[in-house]
Amino acid sequence: MGEDGADGIGCVAAARRQYVTPSPVTSHSAMVLVQALFAGMHITASPALEYIPPVAFCALRLILALPFLGYLAHREGGRWFRGWEWFWPAPMGAAIGTAYVLIFVCNQRSGPNVTAMVQPAMPICTTLLSAALGLEKVSVGKAVGLAVATVGTATTLRVLEIEQGASLLDAVLLLTQANAYAVYVVLLTLALKSLDAQLRADLLKKKKEKEKETELVRERSDDVRSSVASSKKVAAPPGPMRFLFAATVVAEVGVAAIAAEDLVENIEWASLPPVAWGAVLYAGLASSCLAHGLNSWAISKVQGILPTVYSGVQVVFTVLFAYAFLGHPVGWDRAAGSAVTVFGVYLVSRAKFHEQHRKTSEEDDASVSDDASEMHLRVRRTSVDHIAVAVELGPAENKGVSRRNSTGLPPVASASELEAAARAEEEQEAHRARSLV
């Protein structure tokens, strides 16, 4: 093999290592690139919205994105919905569909800069809504961060200059867009917590049944022995990507229905300029597919609070791109307000991170007791558009279960990892039963 061939193989091997176990530079560079790609969507969509109405533009973006989101859902693993679980995609789709549409409505009305500047407020809206529903407590650190972020968002929206009419409506639309994402994230949290509790209950029940069957093996015939090996496996529940795919399907149905007249009659397809076609392709492929996939991979490799505050980088890129390519003024007061919002998000995220770390440490200390909680604090990380989301799945549902009865679920898990953990548990029980023969 020639020297060039050896170099090529070495490059492929190095790239593969970076994909599996990336360096911090690779992971954070990927997240910066993600925010630059989403900033590009704000910029490219701005002139295109003169030719394609915002709701129709959103419908075109989603139809391009759906095949890729379906692939991510399939790759994540886990089963499809069952019974009452089919309830979740409808409200999730309404929430995230509203967020998808309002990104372009706000872009057309307020411009790409202000639209991007409000995006960092989404984690703040999520924290407030979660606290209102009792999903998390607001500590002193979170309260300080929320106050700082509120001041920053108010500065970005120039609330002191808002008057009745268009400016008030624009502010309401911008806040509604951020809050719609927050509603989706909270619904996703509720769904994942419920499914996680059911999974742990099913695994614990199955383990107790196998322990009883193993005892019977010692006393009875080979027929009972075979029933241990043939018992039904517990499938991993739907994961975040499957919920996102299903919610986006619901959103696309609603958005396309609203935009049907524009898509069929009002848009002059034959005379659309290249800038409009390019913006649609960019929003559907570069933003929804490339950036979303890259963000999903990157946040799974980075621990801590930084993925949450990377939305502030999107603001920087949007302001620079809008100034360079569209000639839009920076608006330094709004830029400063957005920076304050990002700092508030950082404070809230840091408080959450320390809270999770403290809970895990307390459980580790308690694990020496047979009355300890079932497992470590577990977190599911996922991407919703440009936003990094960490859903805390605490052990509160199964308190008082001895660690000897632990289900062995990993602390940070995808649906496929949950399924693998359940399968490993079953194989261990089957091997233990066979060893008694």
Task: Render pLDDT for 223-247 as a digit per residue (tens, 0 to 9).
Answer: 544 454 445 566 788 989 999 999 9
Least confident among 62-66, 84-88, 339-343? 339-343
- What average pLDDT does range 154-179 have in this prediction? 79
Closest CA to 238 of 372, 385, 415, 108: 415
314 closest CA partner among 340, 333, 294, 342: 342
- Residue 408 confidence (pLDDT): 47
Residue 384: its H or E element? strand 378-384
Higher pLDDT, 416 or 32: 32
Residue 219 CB contacts under 8 Å (≥ 6 apart), including other chains: none
Most confident of 66-75, 91-100, 209-218: 91-100
For residues 286 and 40, is the Cβ–Cβ distance under 8 A? yes
- 106: pLDDT confidence band, cut at 50, 70 and 90? very high
Which of the two residues, 63 and 156, has the higher pLDDT score?
63
Q: 9 or 392, which is more confident?
A: 392
Give the Cα separation of 116 and 326 in Å (integer).
Answer: 15
SS3 content of the chain, % helix, strand, coil (to 5): 75, 5, 20
Using 50, 70 and 90 to split pLDDT, how confident is the model at 394?
low
Q: What is the pLDDT of residue 409?
A: 46
Mean pLDDT, residues 338-346 taken together: 84
- Using the predicted structure, report yes or no on whether residue 375 has a pLDDT greater than 80: no
pTM for this prediction:
0.79
Overall average pLDDT of the 176-196 stretch = 90
Q: Are 132 and 126 in contact (CB under 8 A)?
A: no
pLDDT reading at 207 higher than 80: no
pLDDT of residue 200: 82
Closest CA to 349 of 386, 397, 312: 312
Q: What is the mean pLDDT of the chain?
A: 78
Mean pLDDT, range 403-420, rounded to an integer: 47
Count of residues for the chain?
A: 437
**Amino acid letter for position 303:** Q
Amino acid present at 365: D
Distance CA 245, CA 64 (A): 13
Residue 91 above 90 pLDDT?
yes
Q: Say what the pLDDT of residue 339 is.
A: 86
Q: How does strand 387-393 pair with strand 378-384?
A: antiparallel
Closest CA to 318 of 346, 277, 287: 287
Span 271-320, pLDDT tens digits:
999 999 999 999 999 998 888 888 888 777 766 556 667 777 888 888 88
Q: What is the DSSP letter of 412?
A: B
What does the alpha-carbon distance between residue 264 and residue 64 come to, in Å, rounded to a whole number?
18
3-class SS at 116? helix
